Chains A and B, each alone.
Chain A
């Protein structure tokens, strides 16, 4: 069975600080990887995704993530956070084998950016 671990449950940063949120997954096969964000009072939105190719993927709002296959990791980064980045961030994985495409989510990381 797949599992996803997000090591940081709550991260507090000041504006302009750099961000890195960890994500590790456990699965023996090929996977697709996603980061979703849930802003306060809003629905879950896709930040970025990785299917194949260049392991460094760029998403919306200046976010990027790097897939390191040997470490089963897909960490999210942003060079300079803003107050508006305050939200909960979820890493998720789906298997590329078979027809089912259920997302397995990590427990989420609450990011608070102080103005």
Chain B
């Protein structure tokens, strides 16, 4: 079974621009979560989508948004990019059929550099 895929793998943008990242979950997985990984802050939760609805959101500004499509694929968008948005953005998917035993599997990430 194919793993979580993310596109693009690398992105270079300039301040003020916006960016859209894409994530395709493992087949059959219904929940998609996004995380930001930086050397200073580590791995931080951005948001989770389930059945096209945002189920949970981390402590990030409104410039960070996302959505999920009916096929469970997800996109996240960052508007008005800042230098501090440079990070590895990770997507994780899970079955979400039983909350008590749900396990998230991660994709390779998208490396975003803001100049």
Chain A residues close to B by CB (< 8 Å): 32, 34, 36, 42-46, 49, 51-52, 90, 92, 94, 96, 98-108
* Contact of A99 with B55 at beta-carbon distance under 8 Å, contacts A32-B100, A90-B43 already known: yes
Smallest Cβ-Cβ distance to A52: which chain B residue: B100
Count residues of B near A (Cβ-Cβ below 8 Å): 27
B79 to A: closest C-beta gap in Å:
23
* Contact of A43 with B106 at beta-carbon distance under 8 Å, contacts A103-B35, A104-B45 already known: yes
Counting from the closest, the 6 A-B pairs by CB-CB distance are A100-B56, A105-B43, A44-B106, A43-B108, A102-B45, A107-B42
* Contact of A101 with B106 at beta-carbon distance under 8 Å, contacts A44-B90, A90-B43 already known: no
Q: Which of A34, A99, A107 contacts B99 (CB 8 A)?
A: A99
